[in-house]
Amino acid sequence: MKNIFISVVFLVLYFGCVAAAFCQVRSPQTRTDFDAFLKIADAAQVGLQKGDAAAYKSLWSNSDEVTLSGGFGGAVEKGWTAVAKRLDWAATQFSNGTNTIERLVAVADGNIAYVVQLEHIKFKVPSTGLDATRDFRVTMVFRREDGAWKIVHRHADGQNAKQPA
């Protein structure tokens, strides 16, 4: 619940949205467009997990505001140049990948959308050829740019086990 709250606060603060934007009635057309975009994004992500970042990168905003907190850890990348470089690097960490996505929440409202999902990835490590798996908790934020949905933020981490109090 805390992560969903943080995601909503992030949307409001990061994109300078006003409360009225969140009071809009969700349009069936917006939801249909967003669902279609998510299918394309899911397929492009499999391409990344097969070692090719091109299709996935084409779905990202090229703005200076775009951010990526990748599942392999490290710094938060900010700005398209840094994010594109990180996505290219991430593609080199995978080969012959497949995934299963458990989408927990998908909300599209006006020009802003987000998902919260679990990703289960199976792949071969390029340097060794060994089979490997990764499980991530993921939050992604999207916005419409020139009528098309674009990814503007992705946070993935492998902290799936609940930590003791």
Percentage with pLDDT > 70 across the chain? 83
Q: Is the pLDDT of residue 4 over 70?
A: no
Give the tens place of pLDDT for each residue, 97-120: 999 999 999 999 999 999 999 999
Please give the distance of CA 100 from its chain centroid, rounded to a whole number.
Answer: 14
Q: Is the pLDDT of residue 39 over 50?
A: yes
- Give exposure, 31-43, as e/b (b: 16+ Cβ within 10 Å): eebbeebbeebee
* DSSP E strands, 34-86: 67-69, 77-78
Residue 82 dihedral angles phi and psi, to the nearest 5° = -70, -40
Q: Cα 114–92–80 angle (5° rounding)?
A: 45
Q: Cα 55–78–135 angle (5° rounding)?
A: 60
Please give the DSSP secondary-structure letter assigned to residue 2: H
Q: What is the mean pLDDT of residues 25-52?
A: 89
> What's the CATH code, domain 2-157?
3.10.450.50
Bridging pattern class, strands 95-109 and 112-124: antiparallel
Q: Tell me the C-alpha distance between 105 and 79, whole Å.
A: 26
Q: Residue 151 contacts by C-beta under 8 Å, 6 or more apart in sequence?
A: 41, 59, 60, 61, 66, 140, 141, 142
Please give the DSSP secondary-structure letter assigned to residue 136: E
pTM of the model: 0.81
